[in-house]
Amino acid sequence: MFDRHLIVATEKTLLPFAKLLVSRKISANRITIYGFSIGLFGLLCISQNLYIIGLIFILLNRVCDGLDGLVARLTSPSDFGAFLDITLDFMFYALVPLSFVWSDPNQNSLPGIILVVSFFGTGCSFLAFSIFAERNQLHSEDFPKKGIHFFESFMEGGETIFFFCLMCLFPHFFPYIAYFFSFLCILTWISRIKTSFVMFKE
């Protein structure tokens, strides 16, 4: 919902760093992999109840996610790069609830599982919608530079990171945050089904 605004702000901020990385001949795919590795370390910290440290590494992961796209567009964007980016993003998102389950299984197991299931709904609907949007040659003016067809929806990357931040800042409230987050993800899934019915029906 807020991603199209966040993208504009982050690109202006990160562009000088992206140009520096290009001058050092650091590829976009390497940044994607480094960012994923940084995120994994953050999730390991969360699993050991080091929530604030984990949050710092989650945010660093997101910075890398912004940089890899900029570096790709400054050099040579590729289909594999877009594939790698979205695949590692989805895996990272799914591992965040797992890290909270690991940190406190008694409190967080059920809400963590429900959240991952809701991610499955939003992730599958996002990718399926993108496939059929490309087949029908539909493009979103809000995300013209994305390697995969993005369309505005209720819960996007910015909202996801917001909830991850809340979880790290208030870990004892994880179940309540996860249940509410899951509810919003389910609404997004239903909304995409409704939108696809309107846009793709013959």
Domains of the chain, earliest start first: 3-200 (1.20.120.1760)
Grade residue 154 by pLDDT with cuts at 50, 70 and 90.
Answer: low
- Give the phi and the psi of residue 24 in degrees, each rounded to 5: -90, 5
Q: What band does 143 get if pLDDT is binned at 50, 70 and 90?
A: very low
Neighbouring residues of 101: CB distance < 8 A, sequence distance ≥ 6: 108, 109, 112, 113
Q: What pLDDT, on the 0 to 100 scale, is given for residue 183? A: 96
Residue-level pLDDT at 50: 98
Contact in structure between 93 and 87 (CB atoms under 8 Å): no
What's the pLDDT score for residue 182? 97
Q: Is 137 left (phi over 0), alpha (psi -120 to 50) or beta?
A: left
Picking from 148, 33, 118, 14, the residue whose alpha carbon sits closest to that of residue 71 is 14
- Give the number of other Cβ atoms within 10 Å of residue 52's Cβ: 11
Instruction: Kindly state the helix (H) or strand (E) to which residue 166 belongs, with its residue range.
Output: helix 157-169
The pTM of the full predicted model, rounded to 2 decimals, is 0.85
Mean pLDDT computed over 24-40: 95
Give burial (CB, 10 Å; 0-12/13-18/19+) of 118. Answer: buried
* Distance from C-alpha of 162 to C-alpha of 6, rounded to nearest angstrom: 12
Lowest mean pLDDT among 1-5, 61-65, 88-92, 182-186: 1-5
Task: Band the pLDDT of 92: cuts 50, 70, 90.
Answer: very high
Q: Which of 116, 103, 90 is nearest to 36 (CA)?
A: 90
Among the listed residues 202, 178, 182, 201, the one whose alpha carbon sits nearest the alpha carbon of residue 190: 182
| Cβ neighbours of residue 196 closer than 8 Å, sequence gap 6 or more | 125, 128, 129, 132
Beta strand ranges found along the chain (DSSP E)? none
